[in-house]
Amino acid sequence: MVELSNSTGEAGLSLGTEVRVAASIIFGATCLIGVPGNSIVIWVILSKMKRRPSTVLLILNLAIADLVLLLTLPLWIYSINNGWVFGTFSCKVVAYLIYCNLYGSVFFITLMSVDRFMAVIYPIASQRWRTERSVCKVVPVVWALACLFAVPVSQLMVVQTIDGQRTCKDYKTGSKALQITSLVMETFIGFVIPLTVLAVCYAHVVRRVSQMTFKSKNRTEMLIASIVIAFVICWLPYHVCNVFKFASLLVDPRSDAFSKLGNVSEVASYITGAIAFFSSAINPLLYAFAVKSLRDGFRPPVMVKVFEQMAQSTKDEYPMERFNNTKVESIQDL
């Protein structure tokens, strides 16, 4: 878990300063890119689109989760460099809010992949439930689960004084059982299980698309696949860091191994946490890159067209392709 702190720990003052500066720069760039980008996505979908099919609704909720998450970054930047001065209650609330939206972001990316899987593999049958009404029933359930899984983090967060600075910190606080439970939930529910679902879905999608007669309309698959790839690249280092934290909880606190594992995880959590946050800023850029010009990609009419094409491809392209393939196979049988 990322820590809201400016402590140098046992890694030394020089290294701590360098890490804090690097993390602050990454956080600042992420905020400057992600807040306007996700705000534009939300505004375009809510104000410029009359119809909001399943794919677009999932993109909307993903953008909301990412935006709320990124709006907390100024607190992270301040606390990294000046310590946590906002009290214990705020520490718990901010951490809970962050993890609610982290889980929400991961869950909606996973649902987008499942949505594409159903559209490609079962195009006709899936149209019965891949509707705005059905997705509106699923979305509250996803948010409820995200809020539920974020509870252990709020229980762990406390304000501690480390190296003379107050720190909003969750690691090595509370019972060891609660720490292990929180880490296991975060890694498996927030990464391993979603990654497994993503891999299975896209293995089938890639195989199906490779069999299509017309392969020029795969932009939607490429766009969502790029979102998935960005998710893996941004979050993998963070969860590798969690493995070190988990290992440190299993060894004797008086041993050298405990000290070394703790030092590695303390330092690495700054940078890997900052990179993980960047995944919430990169999605609007990927939508913009879906068109030829990055500048044009952020124009509302162009973005509306991208979202409409994503929704329309599942409705028209795959059923027609399945119909054409079935027709060809029937002729060959004759």
| pTM, two decimal places | 0.81
Q: Kindly state the average pLDDT of the residues 306-317.
A: 59
Q: Does 314 fall in a domain? A: yes
- Give yes or no for a contact between 284 and 63, defined as CB atoms under 8 angstroms apart: yes
Q: Is 146 helix (H, G, I), strand (E, B) or coil?
A: helix
Whether the per-residue pLDDT at 29 is higher than 80: the answer is: yes
Q: Does 328 fall in a domain? A: no
Whether the per-residue pLDDT at 245 is higher than 90: the answer is: no
Name the pLDDT band for 258 (thresholds 50, 70, 90).
low
pLDDT tens-digit map of 161-210: 776 778 887 655 556 777 788 888 888 999 999 999 988 888 888 777 77
Range of the domain at 119: 13-321
Q: Is 290 helix (H, G, I), strand (E, B) or coil?
A: coil
Name the pLDDT band for 216 (thresholds 50, 70, 90).
very low
pLDDT the model gives residue 230: 87
Q: Does 329 fall in a domain? A: no
Whether the per-residue pLDDT at 35 is higher than 80: the answer is: yes
Q: Is 79 helix (H, G, I), strand (E, B) or coil?
A: helix
Read off the tokens for 51.
């119809």
* Maximum average pLDDT range among 90-104, 200-214, 303-317: 90-104
Q: Kindly state the average pLDDT of the residues 35-54.
A: 86
Residue 71 CA to residue 62 CA, distance in Å, equals 14
Task: Work out the burial of residue 253: count CB atoms within 10 Å of its CB; fewer than 13 is exposed, 13-18 middle, 19 or more buried.
Answer: exposed
**CATH number of the domain bearing residue 149:** 1.20.1070.10
Q: Kindly state the average pLDDT of the residues 255-284.
A: 76
Q: Does 8 fall in a domain? A: no
Residue 147 CA to residue 144 CA, distance in Å, equals 5
Q: Give me the helices (H) in 175-255, please.
A: 176-187, 193-210, 219-250
Whether the per-residue pLDDT at 130 is higher than 90: the answer is: no
**In total, how many domains does the chain have?**
1
Whether the per-residue pLDDT at 279 is higher than 60: the answer is: yes
Q: Does 334 fall in a domain? A: no
pLDDT tens-digit map of 149-165: 998 888 888 888 776 77
Name the pLDDT band for 68 (thresholds 50, 70, 90).
very high
Q: Does 246 fall in a domain? A: yes
The mean pLDDT value of the chain amounts to 76
pLDDT the model gives residue 11: 40
Q: Kindly state the average pLDDT of the residues 79-101.
A: 88
Whether the per-residue pLDDT at 126 is higher than 60: the answer is: yes
Nearest to 76 by CA among 62, 63, 92, 94: 94
Q: Does 3 fall in a domain? A: no
Q: Does 1 fall in a domain? A: no
Whether the per-residue pLDDT at 139 is higher than 90: the answer is: yes
